[in-house]
Amino acid sequence: MKTKEDILLLLSEIPDPEIPVISIIELGVIRDINITDEVSLTLKITPTYSGCPAMKQIEDDVRKKLTENGFTNISINTIFSPPWTTDWITAEAKEKLRIYGIAPPEHSTEDKSWLTGKTKNIACPRCKSQNTKLISQFGSTACKALHQCEDCLEPFDYFKCI
């Protein structure tokens, strides 16, 4: 019988549909795996954002991967609590995001100082300059904000902290 570690390894092969350089395991959306027998398991999955359209794709990809590996009885439950946080993205995954051109979330969500307008300067993922500015809190997807580097002048996405 497959172990939880085997399943984690299998699911690590599934890329995030919108940011293919990181896996859904690195993203932190799989919250629990419960293997009941050779062909049955239950997964708990949590959405990154309430309306994230990638969640359906992730669920379909998970089903496909598990079916290919002999599971016939797959139950996927969506849970909301505890709510997903960017704190769950691993350090390695953050570095992958940066190399891909997306500035990774920089501070812990425990730090609420940004709410009062104290924004940290986000480092440009290309030239690493700290001389950047916020263009818009809302970017190409729900999880990203749009910034621009004042030195290399390139606009870039920032994976915002939630």
Partner 1 sequence: MTTQEALFNYTLRLGDTNLILAQRLSEWTGHGPFLEEDLALTNIALDITGAAKSLLEYAATIENKGRSADDLAYFRNDRQFFNAQITEQPNGDYAKTIARQAIMDCFDYYFFTELAKSKDETLAGIAQKSIKEVTYHLRHTSSWLERFGDGTEESHNKAQTAINQLWQYTGELFEMNEVDEILLKEGIAVDLNLVKAKWEKHMADLLAKCTLTQPENVFMQTGSRKGIHTEHLAFILAEMQALPRMYPDAKW
Complex with partner 1: residue 3 or 78, whichever CB lies closer = 78
Q: Is 131 in the site for partner 1 (CB under 8 A)?
A: no
Half-sphere exposure of 60 (CA within 13 A, CB side): 6
At its nearest, how many Å lie between partner 1 and the CB of residue 11? 22
Out of 40, 108, 130, 136, point to the residue binding partner 1 (CB under 8 A): 136
Segment lying near partner 1 (by CB under 8 A), choices 37-45, 63-71, 73-81, 97-105: 73-81
At its nearest, how many Å lie between partner 1 and the CB of residue 51? 3
- In the chain, how long is the greatest CA-to-CA distance? 57
Q: Is 49 in the site for partner 1 (CB under 8 A)?
A: yes
Q: Is 140 in the site for partner 1 (CB under 8 A)?
A: yes
User: Of 105, 50, 45, 114, nearest to 75 (Cα)?
Assistant: 45
HEC letters along 26-82: HHCCEEEEEEEECCEEEEEECCCCCCCCHHHHHHHHHHHHHHHCCCCEEEEEECCCC
User: Of 88, 153, 146, nearest to 126 (Cα)?
Assistant: 153
Segment lying near partner 1 (by CB under 8 A), choices 24-32, 58-66, 76-84, 123-131: 76-84
Segment lying near partner 1 (by CB under 8 A), choices 11-19, 58-66, 81-89, 121-129: 81-89
Out of 8, 9, 79, 127, point to the residue binding partner 1 (CB under 8 A): 79
Q: Is 19 in the site for partner 1 (CB under 8 A)?
A: no
Q: Rounded to the nearest 10 degrees, what angle do helices 4-11 and 54-68 cross at?
A: 120
Whether omega before 82 lies within 30 degrees of 0, making that bond cis, reads yes
At its nearest, how many Å lie between partner 1 and the CB of residue 85? 8
